Amino acid sequence: MRPFQKGWQAVLWAVCATVILLPQTLTAQPKLESLFGNNLDLKPDAAAKAEPQLNIRFSPDSAAAGAEVTLQIEIVLDKSAYVYSQNPNIGAETKIQLTEVVGLEPVEAAFVPNKDPKVVAEPLFDNAKLEKFYGGVTWSRKFRVKGDVAPQVNGEIRFQVCDDATCQLFNKPIALKMDLATEPARSLVDMLEDKKTEMPPHMPVVDTTIAPAPGSPPATGTVVASKTITPEREVGGADPITFEISLLNQTEGNGPVKDLLVVIHAKVEGDWHIYAQTQDPEMFGLPTVINFDSVAGLTPVDTSFIPTTKPEVVDAGDGIIQQVFHHEVTWQRRYQLDTAAFQGRLGGSIRYQLCQAEGSCLPPNDLEFELMSATGDQMAQAGNETAKPKVETTIPADSPIEEEIALQEQGLIPFLLTGILFGYAALLTPCVFPMIPITVSFFLKQAEKEHHKPFGMALLYCLGIVATFTFIGIVISAVFGAAGPTILANNEWFNLFLAAVLVFFGLNLLGLFEIRVPSSLLSWSSSHERQGGVIGVLFMAFTFTLVSFTCTFAFVGLLLPMAAQGEYYWPALGMIAFSSAFASPFFFLALFPSYLKKLPKSGGWMNNVKVVFGLLEIGAAFKFLSVADISVFSAPYIFDYTIVMIAWMVLSLVAGLYLLGLFRLPHDTATDSIGVIRLGIAIVFLWFGFYLSTGIYGDKAPEGPLWDQIAAFAPPTFETEDSQNLGPTLKHDDLLYAVDVDRAIEFASDKNQPLFFDFTGTNCINCRLMEGKVFPIKENHELLKQFVRVQLYTDTIPLMADEQATPLLEKNRKLQAEWFNDATLPAYAIVSADGQTILSSYKGAERTPGQFTRFLKAGLEAWQNQSASGSSPTRR
């Protein structure tokens, strides 16, 4: 007798059953034989069982890459014969094992039978329930074709076929290959693409898993519009769900700006469920996607529609985790409406899928709705309507705050105006000042040419700047992605090149040497004078763009995520607006030298201007050298804080003494007196040099916004410390900050503490401002103590070897791009202990006092409310 149950217990049961039943009549034989297989054949004339019909196939028999196919294993039996299910019982279960799968990825976790088995209780085995398929069964499993390799599966199926008399064991090989088609079959993914459905990214979604604060009062508002919809399909009738969509006016008074709340309440019938917005589509469930139309005058306050309750997390087995809502769920989102600018409809769409726990699902459905179509004047009267009933709904008191509204949501015109303002602001950066004397010097020489046309050359110069900025922005977006500007601006070779350019031109302006064109080029230029001027002007525009790029890359970094989302015309228009404003002063500066030559005695004072700007260019070169130094050594090693500050101090003092006439350079002309303006500028340089000396050598650094800006622009200093729990850490204001986000999350989970994420950069000026000015504020310092703090560097990680820093940098950049949708620094977030949910977020430097404090408090309160309610963020 062949025992099929592993372990001595099964053997003992078999012996006992045989001893007891052998003396009995042969009526008991079939039962034993059906249980113990064909080796337990008590009839001497038992006939051998005929082999079953086994069919193994793909459906369809050919498919293209991306299409879904079904592997079907069919066993055909007589009506009286049966085969066991795959569920473990007494050892006779059917086992399907795939040892090799080529060109396919599983869509379903396991093989599924085409019908329910007959369940039989077996008294010999303590009424163990055995599952039997009479007449045969077909097992199916879905796969998706991937790549360009013909799909193939190999393995075996092991099963027993039984009837009233005997059982017989079969081991059959599985060896199947399918042709690769050229035209893809229509799959669920294809249908989603057809519908332009926005699939949620694999990232924590802000504010969608935060439960309402316990005991928070419900928000009320006047119902402006309401609609109840039960979706119906062309085939199959009505869906088992009803949507109640309402628009509430929460504004008190008759002002032109209204606070609106859009509420979507879904009632799901029976045992059906709807998926959460954060459902991972790879976990065999489509997330709910809610879109609300963007119209002029309507500005979202919340980043997305927020559920008032957290979804139920269901473990479907085999590692499949689903986030679902049973019975009902409410989503809501706050908006602000400017009635003066509003014109159009208010509506949107909902894409959802309904499923049952047993595994059956309805196809995805799209529901479009319109709440109202009204002008601003009609909406303005909504606040005065008192006859309509009040609707109460709950807004999470701990909703995350977002201090910055996305530019896309504000419209194209505000975006372009922002670009223009950024362009003018960039003129004040240290990277731009060095180009002023270079531009003046270049166009002074151009003005000496006989056929020089100042207006045309000045216009061409500005257009060259505009075209170069626009081209660089779009190319970097396409090649490097959202983190491109950060990577390029911190590249050691790029910064060494810029420093070399500044030193070269600086020494030239000081008169150390004169840039001479080879005679062969002069001969060629004399015959192509007009063409040579154009080439020279365009070269100057390109050089100007490169030198100033390090100080302007933050704006480019803000535009890149828009290009990644498909709005390619926005980066082009934004860069044109930015660079046009940026280049406009240089248009007049390029015209100025032609008139400057007509002024009497202009050469002497102009040479003094060149010398001063030459010193400024050399000073600016130290900044680029320090960035290259950090890129190579991961921390200031040669051009550290002290060296660079002393260099700036010395250059400032030298410039002041030079303007006072205490020494002259060979190209200077002697003067008997010093003008008032020159004396004033000299005093400013001398004062600035002594001011820097007090910060370098004094017992305490100066206080005030000027010193804050200088210290932030200078090379950073890092204080490191090793922590047993957090690994390498940095210390700011006596608080430790981890640099390994995974270790920080692990520590926070163990301690059940929220996380403070600081997306920063070694060469980020605003980051140093926040660390030196905002973090140390007493209230902020006390709040930061309550978090597990981690700094996620996106350029270089201080004092860390490249092999250790590279994977961390890639992870940090990807995380920032996914969470904040841009690469602008700094960016901050309060995150749940498991690192999965953003509780509050903040971008950029603090613009008004108290903003950063409110952000910290909002995140801490959200965590406390979440902990008090017993909710936990959903792990994706």
400 versus 647: the higher-pLDDT residue is: 647
583 versus 324: the higher-pLDDT residue is: 324
pLDDT of residue 13: 47
Mean pLDDT of the chain: 72
pLDDT(757) > 90: yes
pLDDT(774) > 70: yes
pLDDT of residue 651: 92
Question: Buried b / exposed e across 534-559, counting CB within 10 Å, b at 16+?
Answer: eebbbebbbbbbebbbbbbbbbbbbb
602 versus 514: the higher-pLDDT residue is: 514
Q: Give yes or no for a cis peptide into 117 (omega within 30° of 0).
A: no
The CA angle 828-829-833, to the nearest 5 degrees, is: 140
pLDDT in tens, 487-509: 666 677 877 887 887 788 778 77
Q: Do domains 8-180 and 716-868 have the same CATH topology?
A: no
pLDDT in tens, 12-55: 444 444 444 444 433 333 333 333 334 333 333 433 445 788 88
Sign of the CA dihedral 683, 688, 690, 691?
A: positive
Q: List the one residue out of 518, 508, 488 whose CA is nearest residue 627.
A: 488
* Mean of pLDDT values over 787-795: 91
Treating both helix axes as pointing N-terminal to C-terminal, what angle do 569-596 and 412-426 enclose, rounded to 10 degrees? 40
Q: Residue 393: which pLDDT band, with cuts at 50, 70 and 90?
A: very low
395 versus 103: the higher-pLDDT residue is: 103
210 versus 110: the higher-pLDDT residue is: 110
pLDDT of residue 248: 85
Most confident range, picked from 70-79, 89-98, 413-422, 555-564:
70-79
C-beta of residue 834 within 8 angstroms of C-beta of residue 873: yes
Q: How far apart are CA 806 and CA 793, in angstroms?
A: 11
pLDDT in tens, 687-713: 999 988 888 888 777 877 787 777 767
pLDDT(773) > 70: yes
Q: Any bridge partners for residue 35, and if so which? A: none
Q: Residue 434: which pLDDT band, with cuts at 50, 70 and 90?
A: low
- Topology adopted by domain 197-399: Immunoglobulin-like (2.60.40)
* Mean of pLDDT values over 312-325: 81
pLDDT(294) > 50: yes
Q: Give yes or no for a cis peptide into 826 (omega within 30° of 0).
A: yes
Confirm or reject CATH 3.40.30.10 for domain 716-868, answering yes or no.
yes
Extents of the domains making up the chain: 8-180, 197-399, 412-624, 716-868
Could you report how far apart the first and last alpha carbons of the chain are, in Å? 51
pLDDT of residue 840: 87
pLDDT of residue 683: 92
pLDDT of residue 241: 92
CATH for 8-180 is 2.60.40.10
pLDDT of residue 591: 63
Q: Is 110 exposed, middle or buried (0-12, 13-18, 19+ CB in 10 A)?
A: exposed
Query: Token pair for residue 116?
Result: 């329910």
pLDDT of residue 409: 42
